[in-house]
Amino acid sequence: ASIHKNLGLCLALTGRKEEAIVHLTRSLQLNPHDASVANNLGGLYAGAGDWDQAIRYLERAAGLAPTNEKFRRNLAAAREAQGRDRPTTSDPPIDGETEN
């Protein structure tokens, strides 16, 4: 698990985020209680704009380490960003869509 974790972190730092996700996911499969890996995965997905996946992993991180303020802040920020990225009922329809 630690080899995948370290490789994933190195890949993330060098901008190879898709590869980082693969290795961090494998690390979390091998060590499902590693909150920092879950948090890092959440951050990578958030950076890619995949809020559902980001929140999934950030919730896991916060659940595994409920006293970790950083993880809780990351989760709150992702939830807030997800709300901003979703159209509201007052937004005009996108071309080709019909209004409800």
In a domain, 32, yes or no: yes
The whole-number pLDDT of residue 90 equals 45
Cβ count near 48 (within 10 Å): 13
pLDDT in tens, 18-30: 999 999 999 999 9
- Domain assignment of residue 37, given as a range: 2-84
Kindly state whether residue 99 falls inside one of the protein's structural domains.
no
Please check whether residue 94 lies inside any domain of the structure: no
42, part of any domain: yes
* Domain tally, the chain: 1
What are the Cα distances from residue 76, in Å, to 51, 84, 96? 12, 13, 33
CATH number of the domain encompassing residue 32 = 1.25.40.10
83 — pLDDT class (breaks 50, 70, 90): confident
In a domain, 92, yes or no: no
Q: What is the pTM of this model?
A: 0.81
| Residue 2 pLDDT greater than 90, yes or no | yes
**Residue 22 CB coordination number (10 Å):** 15
85 confidence band (pLDDT: 50, 70, 90): low
75 within domain boundaries? yes
Residue 100 included in any domain: no
Indicate whether 96 pLDDT > 90.
Answer: no
Q: Is residue 96 part of a domain?
A: no
Q: pLDDT, tens digit, for every residue of 5-53?
A: 999 999 999 999 999 999 999 999 999 999 999 999 999 999 999 999 9
